[in-house]
Amino acid sequence: MNLIRVAAACPVTNVADICFNVENIKKCIDKSIDEQSKLVVFPELCITSYTCADLFLHEQLIEGSIEALEHLCNYTKNKDILVAVGAPLHLNNCLYNCAFILFNGKILGIVPKSYIPNYTEFYEKRWFTSGINIIDSTVDLSFQSEIPFGTNLIFTSGVFKFGFEVCEDLWVTIPPSSYLSLMGANIIGNLSASNEVVSKADYRKSLVESQSARCMSSYIYASSGVFESSTDLVFSGHLLIGENGGILTENNRFQRENEVLTYIIDIDKLNSERLRNVSFRESVTLCPHKAKIINFSFCNSSFGTFDRYVAKHPFVPSGEKQREERCKEIFNIQTSALAKRLVHTGAKKAVIGISGGLDSTLALLVVVKTFDMLNIPRENIITVTMPGFGTTDRTYTNAVSLCKNLHTDFREVNIVAACLQHFKDINHDALIHDVTYENVQARERTQILMDIANKEGGLSIGTGDLSELALGWATYNGDHMSMYSVNCSIPKTLVRYLVNYVAAKEVDEETSHILIDILDTPVSPELLPKDKNGDIAQKTEDIVGPYELHDFFLYYFMRQGASNEKILYFAKQTFKDDYDDATIEKWFDKFVRRFFTQQFKRSALPDGPKVGTVSVSPRGDLRMPSDASYRTWINN
């Protein structure tokens, strides 16, 4: 499990006051170490301050900054942190705007700024020279010789691979960090001095998001603060830490004291994304540059208190507005997919089994919306409830009421007699409530739906969800089968939100009440007789475990290919107030065993639309042998 805490820092500075600036840089280093960060990125030219203007042409300032670097190197001795500070470098009659990378008393390397802005409010070419073509070079300073110098430097400690660029480098068509990422860097630091004008902060943030997404990397951005010269410009000390297209944390700008922003980066996640992305891998082979690898070693891998946000329900957006937008989008994907299938086949009818449970309810809502969109009468939706040995009054009533409220062609076929006859035919004792007893009912229901679909010239619509498919919680050639499956890539935790969204936004009050009661009903296939009170006796989550845990396991298992250690660590941190460690381990063991042993069912799935980032379709996201062993994932 490879996690690392990184920091972006903005020290209080005085323009051209090197000693003052260095003291505050040291304070920020100390604070970063206290919070157990392994990297701290400072703003551009922070040793001198960015707004020195023509003072950059003075020998006193240039030599003073080199002396400050020596002092900072000495200060970092025996400190287990990589430090990226900005300072000018005078070399061969040119002045370079550089990132100096310090570790344990040494300058590991110097990265020059590639792109020198000279437009609108920026006039850096008056002082600085571009370092874009400098690779595999070295620099000798008064206190250290043969320091690697160039734009192709990657600082490597095991799986942690750091690359750096400076301010404007991020704003160009192909940032240097793009090449650094292709050369292996998974953590990018940007030492910046970006002034504030209206809306610029939003654009800056979008750049960090998009570059971290393209590079499949983390991105640590540190910009100069309010104590830069305000002769013509104002700086805000904007600090950002991004990862793979998202902003993990951001500071409140315009602070007037030393500030350090830290967060934990998940390197395994980034490496997994790169491994799975064929386009990234192909781009690596086309990269025109070769990295200069500079190896160093952290003393330990501690990241302090685990404060990285990990969603309990990774398939469900945390914000209400975002959830609503996601629900709309999902319904559009599902309905568009079903509409295409109906138009292609010429079918004017759909057949769907309604149990009064969540999945069939969601599937019915999708079918209704699709028929409305295609201007096909709802009377052409044939809804069939098929009560059996375990059907309760509550689910039966909800199924009937929902179908009638939605004005479908409602039908009822009781399967008890047919199942009893089948038990007799196959010589099975109806008092033995085993898997045969359960699966006979599931297959009888599927046969009824398929045959009605044939008779009516319609499509039999599948209702099973992603969580059930991952666990193999379906009867082979029973509810496992349909002519088109609309819920196949929607996990159970998301199903609930979708039904709740429809209840709140899309239906009349009476239908909404029915949907809410369905949401409150325990999840069950109702294949075992109800209890003495007439209630559901067979609760799915008592048998296979909590769906919120299984969806969590599924996300990290499928989306990231994460190790057992990481999945369990994240789960125990995230659900520590809900389940004890032993319970989480128990259900993870169940998840792994069922995921592997039930692959044969997923290998024969009907068509259905991919909705989110995880799918178990044998034609798409999951090409897995049905006879693969789970022993590598299970210790006993």
- 4: annotated binding-site residue? no
- 353: annotated binding-site residue? yes
- The DSSP symbol for 251 reads P
Query: Is 167 annotated as catalytic?
Result: yes
If you search the block for the tokens 């005085």, which residue do you land on? 14
- 355: annotated binding-site residue? yes
- 237: annotated binding-site residue? no
Residues 6 or more apart in contact with residue 200 via CB below 8 angstroms: 194
User: Closest Cα partner for 192 from 7, 43, 377?
Assistant: 43
- 357: annotated binding-site residue? yes
- 354: annotated binding-site residue? yes
- 157: annotated binding-site residue? no
Task: Give Cα 311 distance to the centre of its chain.
Answer: 10
Q: Are 73 and 38 in contact (CB under 8 A)?
A: no
If you search the block for the tokens 């006859």, which residue do you land on? 421
- 359: annotated binding-site residue? yes
Query: Is 161 annotated as catalytic?
Result: no
Q: What separation, in Å, do the N-terminal and C-terminal C-alpha atoms of the chain show?
A: 21
Cα(108)–Cα(112) distance, rounded to whole angstroms? 14
- 302: annotated binding-site residue? no
Bridge-based pairing of strands 137-141 and 259-266 is unpaired
Return the beta strands (E) in 418-499 as ranges: 459-462, 484-485
Structure-token pair, residue 113? 């700024």
Q: Are 452 and 382 in contact (CB under 8 A)?
A: yes
If you search the block for the tokens 């490597």, which residue do you land on? 156
Q: Select which of 167, 215, 403, 488 is catalytic.
A: 167
- 200: annotated binding-site residue? yes
DSSP string, 32-100: HHHTT-SEEEPPTTTTT-GGGGGGGG-HHHHHHHHHHHHHHHHHTTT---EEEEEEEEEETTEEEEEEE
- 468: annotated binding-site residue? yes
- The DSSP symbol for 131 reads -
CB atoms within 10 A of CB 309: 10
- 119: annotated binding-site residue? yes
Residues 6 or more apart in contact with residue 167 via CB below 8 angstroms: 44, 113, 117, 190, 191, 192, 193, 194, 223
Cα(248)–Cα(220) distance, rounded to whole angstroms? 10
Residues 6 or more apart in contact with residue 97 via CB below 8 angstroms: 44, 45, 86, 88, 112, 113, 116, 124, 128, 166
- 358: annotated binding-site residue? yes
- 497: annotated binding-site residue? no
Q: Select which of 38, 113, 161, 369 is catalytic.
A: 113
Q: Are 24 and 13 in contact (CB under 8 A)?
A: yes
- The DSSP symbol for 507 reads S
Cα(448)–Cα(150) distance, rounded to whole angstroms? 71
Cα(217)–Cα(159) distance, rounded to whole angstroms? 13
- 485: annotated binding-site residue? no
If you search the block for the tokens 């007439």, which residue do you land on? 534
The amino acid occupying position 260 is V
Cα(524)–Cα(506) distance, rounded to whole angstroms? 26
CB atoms within 10 A of CB 343: 10
Angle 87-90-96 (CA atoms, 0-180°, nearest 5)? 55
Query: Is 67 annotated as catalytic?
Result: no
Q: Are 313 and 550 in contact (CB under 8 A)?
A: no
CB atoms within 10 A of CB 221: 29
Q: Select which of 35, 44, 438, 548 is catalytic.
A: 44
CA torsion sign for 227, 52, 77, 137 is positive
- 475: annotated binding-site residue? yes
> Residues annotated in the binding site for L-glutamine, as ranges?
119, 194, 200
> Residues annotated in the binding site for deamido-NAD(+), as ranges?
439, 468, 473-476, 601
Catalytically active residues, by annotation: 44, 113, 167
> Residues annotated in the binding site, as ranges?
119, 194, 200, 353-360, 439, 463, 468, 473-476, 601
> Residues annotated in the binding site for ATP, as ranges?
353-360, 463
